[in-house]
A = this chain, B = another copy of it.
Amino acid sequence: MMKVDAYSHILPAPYFARMRELSGGRAALRRWLELPALHDVEVRLRMMEEFGDDYQQVLTLSSPPIELLAGPDEAVALARLANESMLELCEKYPDRFPAFVAALPMSNPDAAMAELTFAIDGLGARGVQVFTNVGGRPLDDPAFQSVFDEMARRDLPIWMHPARGAGFADYATEDSSKYEIWWALGWPYETSVAMARMVFSGLFQRHPDIKIITHHMGAMIPYLEGRIGLGWSDQLGSRTAGEEYAQLRRDLPERPLEYFRRFYADTALSGSAIGTRCGLDFFGAERVLFASDCPFDPEGGPMYIRETIRVLNELDVTDAERERIYHHNVMRLMRLPVDM
């Protein structure tokens, strides 16, 4: 069965070279350097052979958010470099990389809109990637509204990747750098917060059919379905002085929980069958996309792919549902023909 990996990460060589210059050897780069399948396409292609000819990857840029690497002006050139070099990979290896997702210089919203237009119309990108915050500003900030409006108008998806919050502060306690909590738990928290802000700021009222792909299968949302329903949707405002949120609850045409079900969710849960089942039950097979998070696994590439395929093959779903999850859904979202 054809399998199109909807969220795999890449650092095209020209972009990675520039990123290394800009980072000045920052220690955080070590992680990327130690993963050749991320920035060496030959290694990547060899690694993919394990999964046969019917395995493909949609390319998204793996990078810290561009605005952490460069100021608003340099960010424009960086996004362009990323997009042109991802296109190059797609053109050179179309059997492996059927499409790419544009990077945007979000810290410069006007330039982000210009790059969105050029990347989709000029380079053929089939969607855009945003991070859950832009230098600490949430995505429901009015500065970013035009990106969402435009992607809804174009009927193409937005891939949403988590990023640490402003100033790397810790919500909970003194220091989320402790034990890498920022990565394991902070990122899913970030994704969930971004989803909530979209729901409650009325994104799905403005754009009922907007296509937002959430990484890590909706993060905290499916497991907390009850809390989000009876706890939050039906009691919003009860924990706040003032009437603002109680009024918002009355004003929302649908129960907020139902808006949370309108996101799309990828299966990048690092090979957990129980999580995948829960997420699928929450979103439904129409909105779940096979994705591996390749190459950030202990083997540096193939392990999450292998484990995710194992989980999906063992899921109790119909063959038609499994096909949707493996490739129909993502191709439909990108408005590309389904390859049987």
Taking beta carbons and an 8 Å cutoff, which residues of A are in contact with B?
27-28, 30-31, 34, 132-133, 136-138, 165-166, 169-174, 176-181, 183-186, 188-190, 192-194, 196-197, 200, 216-217, 220, 222-232, 234-242, 245, 248, 269-272, 274-275, 277-279, 281-282, 296-298, 303-304, 307
Most buried by B among A171, A228, A270, A271: A171
B-side contacts of A200, CB under 8 Å: 178-179
Contacting pair B298 A245 (CB below 8 A): no
Given contacts A229-B270, A274-B225, A274-B282, contact A173 B138 (CB under 8 A): yes
Contacting pair B222 A196 (CB below 8 A): no
B-side contacts of A270, CB under 8 Å: 226-227, 229-231
Contacting pair B133 A275 (CB below 8 A): no
Contacting pair B223 A278 (CB below 8 A): yes
Contacting pair B269 A224 (CB below 8 A): yes
B-side contacts of A242, CB under 8 Å: 27
Most buried by B among A170, A179, A196, A238: A179
User: B174, B229, B235: which contacts A136 (Cβ < 8 A)?
Assistant: B174
User: B137, B173, B185: which contacts A220 (Cβ < 8 A)?
Assistant: B185
Which residue of chain B lies nearest to A237 when distances are taken between CB atoms in the complex? B180
B-side contacts of A173, CB under 8 Å: 133, 136-138, 165-166, 193, 197
- Bound form: Cα–Cα A236–B298 in Å: 10
Given contacts A31-B239, A172-B189, A281-B274, contact A227 B197 (CB under 8 A): no
- Bound form: Cα–Cα A173–B139 in Å: 9
Tell me, rounded to whole Å, the shortest Cβ–Cβ distance linking A136 to chain B: 6
Contacting pair A170 B165 (CB below 8 A): yes
In the A-B complex, the 4 residue pairs with the smallest Cβ-Cβ separation, listed nearest first, are A171-B171, A226-B270, A226-B272, A27-B241
B-side contacts of A238, CB under 8 Å: 31, 34
B-side contacts of A307, CB under 8 Å: 226, 230
Tell me, rounded to whole Å, the shortest Cβ–Cβ distance linking A268 to chain B: 9
Q: What are some 22 contacts across the A-B interface (CB < 8 A)?
A: A136-B173, A169-B171, A171-B176, A172-B190, A172-B194, A173-B193, A180-B240, A183-B239, A184-B227, A184-B231, A185-B193, A186-B189, A217-B223, A223-B274, A225-B272, A226-B270, A229-B271, A230-B270, A230-B307, A274-B277, A274-B282, A278-B278
- Bound form: Cα–Cα A304–B184 in Å: 30
B-side contacts of A27, CB under 8 Å: 241-242
Contacting pair B181 A227 (CB below 8 A): no
B-side contacts of A220, CB under 8 Å: 185, 188-189, 220, 223
Given contacts A226-B275, A230-B307, A239-B31, contact A172 B184 (CB under 8 A): no
